[in-house]
Chain A
């Protein structure tokens, strides 16, 4: 059971973020970390490979400047190896270009299953996983609350508006996982040490035969209308009463 997990290395969401002047795309020039959302896919993949009694978990990522620090985090969790696509020509790549790049890299790993998050925490386009599935000619199941493998079939509980659907698909397939599908492990010290020497293959666009045909542009960035300043008070034991009074004023109660 070979599983590919697409992982994104993103600017630390806890640090201040900014847009680059000129392109107006997110400034990704600083240190990047593993997107929290991707830890669930990595954990799910490790558990599925283990349950299948063998196989490898391969990470696939696209990032500027040959960035690997986020990949090392996922390798420390237990993934066997990584494929990183890094190319200056990919700066500002849109979701479709990203999907073409990732699909070409995924093909090299010949996986039985491809796991991704539902969307990244920085760009949050949310279409890349399904674009990858379409490019690879594979079925896909998005928004998985649980994932199980039964022979050559993947069984997923898929989040819906009303509740959830039980969905099955033959492998290989693309499955996107929500947070809470599994509890991600923390990398052990041993894992962190081992990750340092795990193979990371770095590829360029030329290696994959893909070009960046970005089909969209940002025309402007404007400040949103600010909300009027409210009343901020320190609770002196009257906090609840103040909320009650405000709700009364709004005629909610």
Chain B
């Protein structure tokens, strides 16, 4: 069965479609002749122009979900459309907090398998997916074996977003069936955490710290360096698990994928978990006291040395410029 029609689960904030949504729309356009979107929230109509610009002909609007989390209603609406015979050939979903909820619920509700952590898609009679394993040292290719649309959950920065210049998408409403108890969760308050400097996954420079920093207080050096380089501070899973820094700072398999111009890894040994999230960086600088640390196998510049000496000197040197 050829891939003719793809649905993309399109996430938006008040600022418009998310970057990963634009990436998925661009990928979908290269794989299928018809690209449609599934969207929710209060702004779907106003996002129709941007969706069209990225090649979407029709956006299926699940509606303003109010205080509900999108997972259950969006998945149920898509599953109902599949059951009614309106199934596309593939459904692309962003790897995001809500995207994974939608994918999991849709998989179980429609009894369809799901492939996640996809970083590449190859078209043809069916789609072949690519997944990095062992820190990105190897790429596993996979495909679905059964009938029904495949559910593909794709990691950020797998494709470069490019508009196609299409007309605004037509908006068509997609009904949500009865959800029973599954829709019980409600958002009672939203908190925006203040951030100075660029977002971790959009910053041109990322300075990350790991266990080699020794103690939580030394993470201040990472934050200072990030500020001096107009970058964002990142972290390995080890120090997030240890409670030194929030989960939002985590780079890696379980955290953010980053591809900055410069990635400066400080006191990070380079566990596979971390490498898969930053291996695509254009230039990698590593400082680690262990000459055998795996991070040096992918570093463009590696300093075998003590972060407690190198980082203060680096901060001084940058400040005095």
Q: What residues of chain A have their CB less than 8 Å away from a CB belonging to chain B?
A: 13, 17, 19, 24, 36-37, 94-96, 99, 118-119, 121, 124-135, 137-143, 145, 158-170, 173, 178-180, 183, 214-224, 227-228, 230-235, 237, 239-244, 246-247, 250, 252-253
Picked from A36, A95, A139, A223, the residue with its CB within 8 Å of the CB of B185 is: A139
- Contact A160/B97 with A165-B191, A235-B303, A244-B317 known, Cβ cut-off 8 Å: yes
- B interface majority secondary structure: mixed
Nearest CB in chain A to that of B183: its residue: A139
The docked-state distance in angstroms from the alpha carbon of A91 to that of B277 is 28
- Looking at A169, A242, A252, which has the most chain B CB atoms within 10 Å of its CB? A252
B96 in the interface (beta carbon within 8 A) = yes
Whether the pair B310, A96 counts as a contact (CB closer than 8 A) is no
Q: What are the interface flags for B292-318 relative to A under an 8 Å C-beta threshold, 1 for contact and 0 otherwise?
A: 000011111111111001110110111
Q: Which residues of A contact B316 (CB under 8 A)?
A: 240
**1/0 contact string of B101-113 vs chain A (CB within 8 Å):** 1011101110111
Within the complex, which residue of B243, B247, B254, B306 is in contact with A119, where a contact is CB–CB below 8 Å? B254
Whether A231 pairs with B300 at a CB distance below 8 angstroms is: yes
Contact of B104 with A130 in the complex, beta carbons under 8 Å: yes
- CB–CB A217/B145 < 8 A: yes
The answer, among B101, B108, B180, B297, for a CB contact under 8 Å with A96, is B108
Interface size class, chain B: 35 or more
Which of B219-241 touch A at CB < 8 Å? Answer: 229, 237, 240-241
Q: Name B's A-contacting residues (CB within 8 A).
A: 13, 69, 71-72, 75, 95-97, 100-101, 103-105, 107-109, 111-117, 128, 132-134, 136-146, 153, 180-193, 204-205, 229, 237, 240-241, 243, 246-248, 253-254, 261-262, 264, 271-273, 279, 283-285, 287, 291, 296-306, 309-311, 313-314, 316-318, 321
Given A163-B193, A215-B145: A230 and B299 interface contact (C-beta under 8 Å): yes
